[in-house]
Chains A and B, each alone.
Chain A
Amino acid sequence: MSITLDQLTKRYQGVPVVNDVSLEIGDGEFFVLLGPSGSGKSTLLRAIAGLCGLDHGRIALHGRDVTHVSARRRGVGLVFQNYALFRHMTVAENIEFALRVRRARAAERRRRRQELLRLVALEGMDDRLPAQLSGGQQQRVAVARALAHKPEVLLLDEPFGALDAKIREGLRRTIREVQRELRITTILVTHDQEEAFAMADRIGVMNLGRLLETGRPTDLYTRPATRFVATFLGAANLLLARQTPDGIFCGDGQITARGASPGAAGREREVVAVVRPEEIEIARSREGLSSGYLGQATVAEVLCTGPIERVRVRLEAGPDTPLLAQPDRDGGTSLEATRAQFEQRALELASGDRVALGIRRVHLLPTPLSSFTICAKGEPAAAALARNPLLADLSSRMKTRIRTRLEPRLGDYAIDAASTASFLGTTVVGAGARVADEASWLLAHGAEEILVLPESAGVPHRVLIHWAGDAARRPTLAVSASVLRQIAAEAVYVDVMAQQSAAGERPLGIRSLLDARSEARTAHGLELRTELRYGEAAGELAQRLEQSPAQMLIIGLSHPQQLSARFGSLLASPRWPVLIVHRLQESSAQSRSAA
């Protein structure tokens, strides 16, 4: 491996900007770090270059641990968005800078300089000053300069940001050619997904300091594992679908989906479906569709963008209308579709036309968090919950909707399972005095994730994760990973062992920590910190939560009874958000391997 990053963390004023990032990049690989601005990708690059210190973690280049090696001895080449050429030096002096620092002989310097100038196609420009060159030429000089000392690794920080489209294209090609010729391991940082697709062998998508997913461009596009990657790489319509033993249903019809095996769940569940705009089929009527029927719609807008046409369609409201994960501002549901030339010729569209929509392909996200349902006894309590800042933040980041369901009998001891429909998605309740009873009641009515929110709970800095019994590990980790992708908090798995445990059991505790960590990493790409505590679970967790504000707790149950028996004391008017997870049986669709 050329570059190995192990749990890198960098904080600014306590907030992690790079959060537990682990990554391995192979020899000669062109790796692109993609993410919106402020996602921590540039900080990560600077950390690899040795220009900013780390709070945690290790960096190895070609097997050499360089965590504490200064930038000047790391042997990396770095290229900046604004070129950062030495303006008082000629092109030749700029390129020879690294060689001059190393006191190379003049003849050798000249030979290397000419080699590099040929490589970046700037022969004969030796005596120009940077001010006499165009932006594209300056960036070529910067690339040549960064390569002069034969670095092991080339790092490019938004190198095309300051260039216009045509020049960008040419420079991209040059950099890719140079990289192939030298077979130098390269990391490029960008926020431009088109650039990432054009250049990368492999892409890593970052958001909120976390490395969410890595993979080949096509894999990430067709089979994203997270909402963020699905919507950040290209356009995506997110729909809420129902996964039942008979298949996957979206609105009226059954749809064919990749990344899911229907029926394995054994019960109905809500899932998030990604529909790319090019996978939506538009026809005059349902009979004209060659793919699975989604619903009737009205064309709202038609935009021609040259080779393709972008169409915005509004689904007609009805009881079986498929729900868009995120509703429009006026509560309606509109989807984006794109059509190739041949489709445009077959059916001309204008806004106002009534059409039938079909879906050719969907991809189901493996995330267990689909949508939120606020459950309260009365209107005022539900309205208060709807204003909760953490819930608002989570739902907007997840691009999902919040529904409200009033249950006057919430928490009543007499449980009548038949009288109410099952709870789908994540159920949200307020952290009142009787919340333990209410949560038990919800579990009995089929709720699988329950979020208990104290009034004015904010976004946490740390999420504590705990589960009771091995059966709960998988679902709890899956839910935790989904939550932690949305908030920039650190994840800590707390295992609690009984006080009187014999000395021989200690390795067992450590074993469980290691298992949790490796499963979190391999199945969900989530880096976990781990803690082993001794004593009674609820008490130890409460103690840990007291230590600092802005924490959140995720508890996994392997049996509903555990809630009041083990964690009852934690739920007596909690001051922190608690997410309770209880899934009887995990369908294979929920694990990433099936995707």
Chain B
Amino acid sequence: MSDTHPTVLPGFGLTLGFTTFFLSAMVLLPLAALVWLTASTPVAHILQVVASPRALASYRLSFGGALLAAGVNLVFGFIIAWTLVRYEFPGRGLVDALIDMPFALPTAVSGIALTTVFSQSGWLGHYLELAGVKVAYTWIGVILAMTLMGMPFAVRTMQPALNEVQRELEDAAETLGAGRWYVFRRVIVPTVLPALLTGFTLAFARALAEYGSVIFISGNLPLKTEITPLLIVIHLEEFDYRGAAALGFVMLAVSFSILLTLNLLQAWGRRRLVLRTS
């Protein structure tokens, strides 16, 4: 939009200026500092920190867990969003409001709450323990916390998209002879695919960045249930700023490339609206 076309908000030059300024001050500059700090560290020290067995194990848990949690949110977020959009039931407003709870709670509170419920003596943990499943202080607990924190992101991005799927699309497909599963696969999912990808991306990003709740439920056993953000904090507490920066740089690089891929996928999907399956 050029400034020759008048709009309600101030012109293009001004808004772009603000955009650049804020992005620089809040995002680019700190990130650049991180990169600069890493770059000015001796390579041997970087490798020692970044490639240590403890760090490698934390990457696996952080990135693997976040992907898994985002996957869980993709499926269950879709179901929750569908239920909220399509059905009228008593208490729908309450359920709708509950979705946002993880947004509002301090993450530490969520962590404590989860731990209380899922520890060996907790309400649910007690029975899971009897069934041989340990949640608290294992990787399952980590994923549980990540899923909880990412859930509202998944639901809230899918909801408006599902809202826009006209019921008539399903009716049309049905009169053309398609069964429910066929309609779901070939009509509904392709129509909301961009929103599904966005929801997945946001849930993944949130899970990766989650710290407060995870450290309560994970038990933080090195090599087992230690996430990368915690490892960074440990380095900081030991005044190893350069080590912490190096780990941060690795997280930054990997998450940036994953997010970029997802974003490109989305842009492509939006253009074509579907992966042509046949």
Contact = CB atoms under 8 A, between A and B. Distances in A.
B197 to A, nearest CB: 14
B182 interface: yes
Contacts of A74: 175
Closest 4 CB pairs of A and B: A88-B273, A88-B274, A98-B176, A84-B168
A193 B169 CA distance: 28
A84 B173 CA distance: 9
B172 A72 contact: no
Contacts of A98: 176-177
A102 interface: yes
Given A87-B191, A88-B273, A101 B176 contact: yes
B165 to A, nearest CB: 10
A82 interface: yes
Interface of B: 166, 168-169, 171-179, 182, 186-187, 190-191, 193, 272-274, 278
Nearest to A77: B175
B166 A82 contact: yes
B171 A149 contact: no
Contacts of B173: 86, 97
Contacts of B166: 82, 84
Contacts of A149: 176-177
B172 A101 contact: no
19 contacts: A46-B171, A49-B171, A50-B175, A71-B171, A72-B174, A77-B175, A82-B168, A84-B168, A84-B169, A84-B172, A86-B173, A86-B187, A86-B190, A87-B191, A101-B178, A129-B273, A145-B172, A146-B175, A146-B176
A325 interface: no
Interface of A: 46, 49-51, 70-74, 76-78, 80, 82, 84, 86-89, 97-98, 100-102, 129, 142, 145-146, 148-149
A102 B173 CA distance: 12
Contacts of B174: 51, 70-72
A51 B171 contact: yes
A72 B175 contact: yes
Contacts of A73: 177
Nearest to A70: B174
A80 B177 contact: no
A556 B172 CA distance: 49
Nearest to B191: A88
Given A86-B191, A87-B191, A78 B178 contact: no
A97 B182 CA distance: 11
A217 to B, nearest CB: 28
A377 B15 CA distance: 79
Nearest to B192: A88
B142 to A, nearest CB: 36
A98 B187 CA distance: 13
A100 B273 CA distance: 19
B160 to A, nearest CB: 16
Q: Which of B172, B173, B175, B278 has the most CB of A within 10 A?
A: B175
Given A72-B174, A101-B177, A145-B172, 10 more contacts: A51-B171, A76-B175, A78-B175, A80-B168, A82-B168, A86-B190, A88-B274, A97-B176, A142-B172, A148-B176
Contacts of B182: 101
B174 to A, nearest CB: 5
Contacts of A82: 166, 168
B266 to A, nearest CB: 14
A98 B177 CA distance: 6
A195 to B, nearest CB: 20
